[in-house]
A and B are shown apart, each in its own frame.
Chain A
Amino acid sequence: MAPMIAVEDLSVTFRSAGREFRAVQNVSFDVAPGETFGIVGESGSGKSTILRAIAGLVPSASKRLEVNGRPAALRRSRDDRRMLQFVFQDPYASLHPRQTVDDILREPLEIHHEDNIDKRVTAAIADVGLSPTHRFRYPHQLSGGQRQRVAIARALILSPPILLLDEPTSALDVSVQAEILNLLGKLRQTYSLTSILVSHDLAVVAHLCNRIAIMQFGRLVETITADDLRSGDVTADYTRQLIAASRGFTRASA
């Protein structure tokens, strides 16, 4: 089966004040249709930058960068853009404070000249487990979990085949995180979504993903399966350190 997302030798370099910073260096991976691919790493490891490069939000260089079999150029057409949608980390920062839930969900449909806007907004609200009474509320009238549901509804309203999730639950309490992770698990089945989940939390990634890439200093250290992660059957020392650290505090130094 042809991969939904193909990345080969992807590099992202930022330049400022005459200095170069190589945020992502020669990263390659494929994501199969319907797969949830995980990327983990610490701050500054380049994991979010990879997502932004795939979405065309930052300039990148690569041997191959394909989304659904089509090369992904930096300038994306409207059709390219609706192929993939983003859910960001902070639901407090990623929703427009002066737009109601209705405005937020309506906008992508209007941009893409869709029909049945009213019906689709109603359906999207129900899909993410919000009630119709939330439709005309502003983001500040919603809890963090409800906001993240709105962000997910906005991402899914154009029925994209691909969802890019950048730390979707890091700003949420454990109980709310569980609800959002369950929702994402349910939606990816209903809509056979392909997704990439970026997180610093190994347990969250192992919960949702089949295969996981470990990033450090902009490089891909190794790609492992969720089972490898659970059993600790990994080759790189860095991965071992990460796993040990996320299992909790140990008195002896790692």
Chain B
Amino acid sequence: MSASLLTIEDLNVSFPGRSGITHAVRNASFTLGRERLGIVGESGSGKSTTGRALLGLVPRPGIVTAQTMTYAGRNLLACSEREWQELRGRRMSMVMQDPKYSLNPVQTVGHQISETCYLHLRTSREDARRRTIAMLEAVQIRDPELVSQLYPHQLSGGMGQRVMIAMMLIAEPDLLIADEPTSALDVTVQNEVLRILDALVRERGMGLIFISHNLTVVSSFCDRVLIMYGGRIVEECAARDLNNARHPYTRALVAATPSLDVPRAELATVVRDPAWLQ
């Protein structure tokens, strides 16, 4: 692994509310190089909130604190909103779960993608359009000229997700956070999208944080995996060793997943131990 792109120490995210403070992320520490890092966990484990915190996108009244949060030598904790805006989209970006809700429904997709180009790269409109078409081609859209003129509702789920990826990658960021990028897609389409992401990591040397609840996908796609439970990172392991994980929670998750290879009469259920939250 090359020098780390992102270093996070003791990240905490909390949301004050009427019934007290909710700690969504507790003391999370990890580093990311030019690799594919998976974050797995169940609903409410803090995996998406971690991703948002890295982009400075935790909504109010959420509070983000950390010992260290550096990205390519830059201290993210000291960033002003203006500096964040320079980083986001240009140096780091995020692919959301559902393209239906994350694309602007009243703009053509070509318009939305090229906007990033002239905002961040200060290109001419003509150049932005050319890059947009090239980018759509890179994410394997068959007729990029046509698709760039379509509105989001005219796209299938798989195409929408590819458009999202194209939009996030057009400014060539070094860090991509993908939050459940394939969960809304059919399995055969899912693998096409994963192949696109894989090629980008290998060819461009991008760092990828891949947030997912799907253990099969994470263990076959990522290099390393963080397992989150109750806002904590309970275990870190190499993706291919996920089936031999040590933490009882990870082992329970693996045993609770129906498998094509190991038929089970009954699935194991996860018995939660309060000690995991200590």
Q: Which residues of A contact B (CB under 8 A)?
A: 42-43, 144, 173-175, 177-179, 181-182, 185, 200-204, 206-207, 226, 229-230, 241-243, 245-251, 253-254
Contact = CB atoms under 8 A, between A and B. Distances in A.
Contacts of A249: 191, 194-195, 198, 217, 220-221
Given A182-B267, A203-B257, A229-B260, 13 more contacts: A42-B187, A43-B186, A144-B43, A177-B256, A178-B269, A179-B269, A181-B258, A182-B266, A182-B269, A202-B260, A243-B260, A247-B216, A249-B220
Contacts of B198: 249, 251
Contacts of B263: 206-207, 226, 230
B258 A204 contact: yes
B266 A203 contact: no
A46 to B, nearest CB: 14
B19 interface: no
A112 B252 CA distance: 43
B258 A206 contact: yes
B250 to A, nearest CB: 11
21 contacts: A42-B188, A174-B215, A174-B257, A175-B269, A177-B256, A178-B257, A178-B268, A178-B269, A179-B269, A182-B269, A203-B259, A203-B260, A242-B188, A246-B187, A247-B216, A248-B221, A249-B191, A249-B195, A249-B217, A251-B198, A254-B191
Contacts of B270: 175, 178
A247 B260 contact: yes
A118 to B, nearest CB: 31
Contact of B191 (A174, A178, A230, A250): A250
Interface string B130-159: 000000000000000000000000000100
Interface of A is mostly: helix
A56 B269 CA distance: 36
A206 B259 CA distance: 8
B43 A173 contact: yes
A178 B256 contact: yes
B264 A207 contact: yes
Given A182-B267, A248-B221, A175 B190 contact: no
Contacts of A230: 260-261, 263
A178 B266 CA distance: 8
Nearest to B190: A245
B256 A248 contact: no
B253 interface: yes
A178 B43 CA distance: 15
Interface residues of B, number: 34
A201 B266 CA distance: 17
A206 to B, nearest CB: 6
B44 to A, nearest CB: 9
Contacts of B268: 178
A201 to B, nearest CB: 8
B7 interface: no
Contact of A248 (B42, B157, B213, B220): B220
Contacts of A179: 269
Contacts of A241: 188
A243 B191 CA distance: 12
Contacts of B186: 42-43, 200
Contacts of B190: 245
A128 B257 CA distance: 21
Interface in B212-226: 213, 215-217, 219-221
A221 B259 CA distance: 23
Contacts of B257: 174, 178, 203
Nearest to B267: A178
Contacts of A207: 258, 263-264, 267
A174 B218 CA distance: 14
B258 A185 contact: no
Contacts of B43: 144, 173
Nearest to B261: A230
Contact of A175 (B42, B261, B264): B42
Contacts of B253: 174-175
CB-CB nearest 4 A-B residue pairs: A248-B220, A178-B256, A42-B186, A175-B270
A185 B269 CA distance: 14
A241 B190 CA distance: 12
A250 B187 CA distance: 12
B190 to A, nearest CB: 7
Contacts of B260: 202-203, 206, 229-230, 243, 246-247
Contacts of A245: 187-188, 190-191
B273 to A, nearest CB: 13
Nearest to A202: B260
A32 B263 CA distance: 22
A179 B255 CA distance: 12
Nearest to B253: A174
B154 to A, nearest CB: 15
A204 B221 CA distance: 21
